[in-house]
Structure 1
Amino acid sequence: MLMKNERILLVNRPKGTPEKSDFRFEATAIPELENDQVLVKTIYLSVDPYMRGRMNDTKSYVPPFELNEVISGGVVGQVIQSRSSELAEGDFVIGNLGWQKYNAVSDASVRKLDPSIAPLTTNLGVLGMTGLTAYFGLLDIGNPQEGETVVVSGAAGAVGTIVGQIAKIKGTRVVGIAGSDEKISYLKDGLGFDEAINYKTDDVYKALKNACPDGVDVYFDNVGGEISDHVLRQINKGARIAICGQIALYNLEKMDVGPRIQSQLLINSALMKGFIVSDYAAHFEEGAVQLAKWLKEGKLSYSENIVEGFENTVDAFLGLFSGENTGKQLVKVAEPENV
């Protein structure tokens, strides 16, 4: 084939915060398709904090990225060639694919999308793994009850924005923690959070005391670190804590040492549980249907930070760790083709 591909490889295990030198762009040929394969042109790709953990050569819930191999993540693309009876040229699909402009993959490794239902990007965000993470983590582990207080850290991120809105749908008081005045305004004025705290300028412990006069019943933890220490000091009897992410710790080179939290859990008969969205794979359809219903009814809104250009993918990823994004961080790689 005459078309050239371009892809991004991981070439070093990052020490601390990743740097551009840990990645390499590489031009390569596009292989001929085999039976039951399709050639997918990347339209949008997702960059997510969990990818940082996969860059370490340590045991986790998914294998680490291999050095000198293509990084992979959520991709929405368009089939431009097909040797499949299931997918035709022009079909839009989603899958866990490589950070590259073109992916030659089996038809079983992607799922066909209907772009008339919702914008394509929502399949990587509010109607995709992001929304499902918020849905199951909050409702199954957090189990918010009307009138309770829910605190969300990383509240202006892709998952946090959805968590807070679902918590409001359930009739709770919602307090978000984020890192800029712009994000604070968005949480309160745009999404209807009851209160929001800027962890960069506020005294988080005191601000939480003021924002949660009746204590904290549910904590959805996206960040870990000192912010979570402050929240856990204010939990109520029977509190539930869902551990979704620990972005404050991802770039540390040594094990973090903080307060011992067991006594707080013990004296409050509290539950703390970590989860991965794939734990709920058998129920994905249920969650997706409910999220789509709320979206259609106007009960859910979403924010996307879309970076243009495949060449800016690494910058978009690194921006996650300096809080540059509000909502879902995506890279637009190409325009869809008219097939």
Structure 2
Amino acid sequence: MSRKVQRSEVCADCSAPDPGWSSINRGVLICDECCSVHRSLGRHISIVKHLRHSGWPPSLLQMVQTLASNGANSIWEHSLLDPAQVQSGRRKPNPQDKVHPTKSEFIRAKYQMLAFVHKLPCRDDDGVTTKDLSKQLHSSVRTGSLETCLRLLSLGAQANFFHPEKGTTPLHVAAKAGQVLQAELLVVYGADPGAPDINGRTPIDYARQAGHVELAERLVECQYELTDRLAFYLCGRRPGDLDLSELAKAAKKKLQALNNRLFEELAMDVYDEVDRRENDAVWLTTQNHSTLVTERSAVPFLPVNPEYSATRNQGRQKLARFNAREFATLIIDILSDAKRRQHGKGLTSPTAQSKPHIPRRLVEECGV
């Protein structure tokens, strides 16, 4: 669901007027040029989405717009607000500056290196610091202060932190308090809607028991985001369009032979590739023969994620070689195998751990 953005907004990275994109996990709005750099960083650094041409869950869009209007950008540019930084020559790009190297170097420093984020005093035990931050997050999510929670997350607080004394995670607290936007932020940062508390109850259970029906339904959507999105991606394709060659059949057998961990990793990687392809389509639509559509602004394959092995990164990048029919076949196979594994270990969502869920209506439409 698309929404209009206030015209007074400017790009968080270069101050260009009327930004068309958002970085969901950073809580900022960005222009086309800066978005091209964000996309090249990968979803593990910046999750981008077009504000007017992409589908939005209303509460997720509200979360982003609330953070943007309340100054979330100051979290990522904390040290730049110091007058001494201006005197030292470090400055923020202008709209007229070149994308490469001026804007790209600044954006990489800002979000990838976190060069301008407020640094905590050094301590001997980083684990204690993370635990302290996570406890603060656990307490803060019951309020409406999104910026406070984003700041804690930027400093290293864990969205899935299990409070040893309380027996719950931050998402349990937000769900019980009916804090919809806090729940959206936590899920973006990896909180699991299906995580049990000390008594086995999930955040979804907490929301339902507190009478927050819409929040409970939204958390269910988040829990099954991976398989739902793959299924939606296929809805316009006919089963007859799929590749049923001997090579495809052999690939399906290999897929079925994967252990659950490798299968979950593949499903997550395919989800990221779906996101790349959908953003590519929106990008090309919105540029309208602009000079921004160049080889340097394109994202031809998934960027490297340093947290993954070299083998997995190579496999992720090879997904870009699949044509539309081959890629659709792969998704159908993943959905089918997820259904087969339904009674075993759950399928990981892009941000959380959950059981594989295949929407019946979508499965029927897609021929799974």
The structure whose RCO (Cα within 8 Å, separation 6+) is larger is 1
TM-score under structure 2 length normalisation: 0.23
The structure that is helix-richer by fraction is 2
What TM-score does the superposition give when structure 1 sets the normalisation length?
0.25
Higher share in strand: 1
